[in-house]
Amino acid sequence: MSDTSQSTGPDLHALFGIDGEHATGAEPVVALDRDGGGVGADPGARGVGAPGLDPFEVDDTHGAPAITPEGGVEAHPDFAPIEHEGALDGSPPAGHSGDESAHQDSASAGDAGQWSGITRPSRRGSSQRFLTDVIVDMGIAARGQVEEALETSRIAGTTAERVLLDKNIINQDGLARALAERYGLDHLDLGVFSVDMSAANLVTTAIAKRYQAVPVAFSDKRTLLVAMADPSNVLAVDDIAIMTGYEVRVAVAPPDDIAALISRLDRLEEAVGESGSQFGQDDEEDEVVDLHESSEDAPVIKLVNQIVAQAVEQGASDIHLAPDGHETRVRFRVDGVLADVTTVPRKMAAGVVSRVKIMAELNIAEKRLPQDGRVGLVVDGRHIDLRVVTMPSVHGEGLVMRVLDKASVVVEMDKLGMADAERERFEAACHETHGAVLVTGPTGSGKSTTLYGALKLLNTPEKNIITVEDPVEYEMAGLTQVQVAAKVGLTFAAGLRAIVRADPDVIMVGEIRDRETAQIAVESALTGHLVLSTLHTNDAPSAITRLIEMGVEPFLVASALECVVAQRLARMLCPNCKRRTIIPAQVLRDSGYKAHVELEAYEPVGCRRCGGSGYRGRVGLYEVMQISPEIQKMALERQPSEAIRDVAVAQGMTRLRDDGLMKVRQGRTSITEITRVVGHN
């Protein structure tokens, strides 16, 4: 058995299971005598102050050497007097030293945090009880059934729990929970627990399969949290400790869940492949990336592939690699919310960043200046484009990858979540032969989805539809789509000027962000074209003032604009776990609503289907403003957007926040989510 970690002195970081800055002393300081205590000592002898919750046992969790498998552990787990080192206090991983609380309750499922899906045992350390007694005490099976199973197992030469499983009296998860309790270990719900790819990559698939064990997180700088089906498999624990160079803290999960995790890890690695075609007219950019170029880079390539595949699988819109001075944090933006996913150890971080830069054909030697590029990939058979931006920071080079998943762009108007009245107004405007229809909102608010929805509606053979986009997010048959290429001078404005000469009926400009584009778009709308575009404004009325601020004459704005849609995306409540709640009137008032009565609605809970977040998917919030003669007049008078808003509301416009409240009442989202997305007023 390995004795690798025995000689190391006490490391406060490791002892606390947290980074220095988190060592707030909130954990009771009990004893530092870990060397004297030695692994394998009676757990009852330590943890002086807080039996069962001894924070200092964290460091003993290499576990492997500690386990003394007296008496045929594998065959008779019930009788193995294993000192399975309590050790596991459920501290958050040291790697996530950013904004996470060091004392986040790992058992709570409220957050989609790293530590959702852990159930701690009632006490740490091996309980020296029979597993069958634990099963009875936990209410997993009745005493009588267990007695019967014990009898049967004696005759059949098997174990009582095997008999209970075979008779379907208990299931695998019940057994896993009992095993965890029996050995004083954490139980993992792998359906909820978010697995750290960097940890999982430390063992090969073959080893993981052989031992039914997968590292799922870094418990601290030196310790891996390893999900195991059979916690009494001391050889496995030992081997994994030697192989990875980390100490091992064991948690129990059902064998089926572990097998599913292993095949998912396999699939994620295989999922990312070479890209065929790519949009853009630049042939150089179409070069296919060889994802398996050098064997010495294999672990780095594997990790990058898994990160990308996992991001696509979770529907992430962005992947962030952010160095924090110690490691590099990997964060995904899913449904508009950024969350930590994994941590790349320092020694691999530079390789990972270089790998992505190579894929995106950036200069890997240049680390001080931001660069941007893109790469086309096939992930799980889907064509994905990654737009890569490097970010030199004081802690080193980081990067952000925007994931463009062409298949994920919804283009059916009726699936956008726009209420009927709003949709009618928007569609009516889109069916005009001329005028401008603008969609506004911040980045990531789904503006292009709305525009594609409109284009799909308008896409008939008798119409010539030309777009200029950056990037072309979705290719639609029947359209002429032009990709902006600033490097060769093809800007929005230049593209738009060319389009106007090509006899279009409908023009879509990806975004109006400068005066020149605004001017041409407005002029085109006034000369017999329907112009669709987007603007960055917070609400619909501000589109008018923004265009005027950009330098377009108010009378042109007033006569060109047909309709403005402002939008946001709010996360939808997970239908599987959302819970009925009553929102007090005060809370509504705090959120900026003039409420006198409470509201019956739903709140997020978190379950395995939504990864513990309580939300799945997103719904659009819309504010559709028709340009009435009154509003035209206000534009001419350069009235402020608040005044225009009041008139628009009086004329029937539902404000974003009110559309949000409606979706809360419909049970599609929560009041906190609406407040997060649209603010308090």
- Please report, as ranges, the residues that interact with Zn ion according to CB under 5 A: 574, 576-577, 607, 609-610
Token duo for residue 192 = 């909820």
Q: Which is nearer to Zn ion, 429 or 605 (CB)?
A: 605
CB 529 within 8 A of CB 506: yes
Identify which of residues 192 and 262 has a Cβ nearer to Zn ion in the complex: 192
DSSP state of 237: H
Task: Fill in the amino acid letter for 476.
Answer: M
Task: Calculate Rg over the CA atoms of the chain.
Answer: 29
The residue among 510 and 614 lying less far from Zn ion, judged by its C-beta, is 614
Least distance in angstroms from the C-beta of 46 to Zn ion:
39
Starting at the edge strand that comes first in sequence, how are the strands of the sheet with 118-119 ordered? Answer: 118-119, 186-188, 247-252, 223-228, 213-220
Angle at 108 between CA 105 and CA 112, to 5 degrees: 100
Instruction: Evaluate whether 492 touches 505 at the Cβ level (below 8 Å).
Output: no
180 to 39, 228, 307: CA distances (angstroms): 19, 10, 30
Residues 534/539/544/546 CA torsion (nearest 10 deg): -70
Give the containing element (helix H, strand E) for 455: helix 447-458
* Chain residue whose CB lies nearest Zn ion: 574
Identify which of residues 175 and 607 has a Cβ nearer to Zn ion in the complex: 607
Closest distance of CB 575 from Zn ion, Å: 8
Least CB distance to Zn ion at residue 341 (A): 19
Least distance to Zn ion, CB of residue 577, Å: 3
> Shortest gap between Cβ of 143 and Zn ion (angstroms)?
35
Q: Can you state the angle between helices 255-271 and 172-183, rounded to 10 degrees? A: 110
Give the nearest distance from C-beta 118 to Zn ion in angstroms.
Answer: 17
The least distance separating Zn ion from the CB of residue 227, rounded to whole angstroms, comes to 21
CB of 574 to Zn ion, least distance (A): 3
Query: Is the CB of 192 or the CB of 479 nearer to Zn ion?
Result: 192
Output the smallest distance, CB 578 to Zn ion, in A: 7
Looking at the Cβ atoms of 63 and 612, the one nearer to Zn ion is 612
Our CB check for Zn ion shows the closer of 491 and 613 to be 613
Which of 527, 576 has the CB closer to Zn ion? 576
Two tokens, residue 232? 């009494």
CB nearer Zn ion, residue 265 or residue 610: 610
- DSSP class of residue 618 equals E
Distances (CA, A) of 526 to 1, 447, 511, 625: 81, 23, 18, 19
| Token duo for residue 225 | 């949290």
> Which is it for the CA torsion 243, 106, 141, 608, positive or negative?
negative
Place of tokens 């975004």: 511
Torsion sign across C-alpha atoms 535, 536, 542, 546? negative
CB-nearer residue toward Zn ion: 313 or 523: 313
Q: How far apart are CA 169 and CA 150, in angstroms?
A: 13
Distances (CA, A) of 264 to 190, 211, 212: 12, 17, 14
Could you please report the per-residue DSSP string of 563-591?
Answer: EEEEEEEEEEEPTTT-EEEEE-HHHHHHT
Residue 602 beta carbon to Zn ion: minimum distance, rounded to whole angstroms: 11
Provide the minimum distance between the beta carbon of 395 and Zn ion in the complex, in angstroms, as a whole number.
35
Q: In the complex with Zn ion, which residue's Cβ is closer, 143 or 579?
A: 579
Classify each residue of 366-392 as buried b or exposed e, where b means 16 or more C-beta atoms within 10 Å of its C-beta: eeeeebebbbbbbbeeebbbbbbbbbb
Whole-number Å distance between alpha carbons of 486 and 175: 61
| Rounded least distance, CB 614 to Zn ion, Å | 6
For residues 120 and 107, is the Cβ–Cβ distance under 8 A? yes
Cβ-based nearer residue to Zn ion, 315 or 592: 315
C-beta of 203 vs 577, nearer to Zn ion: 577
Q: Which amino acid is at 11?
A: D
Minimum CB separation of residue 576 from Zn ion in Å reads: 4
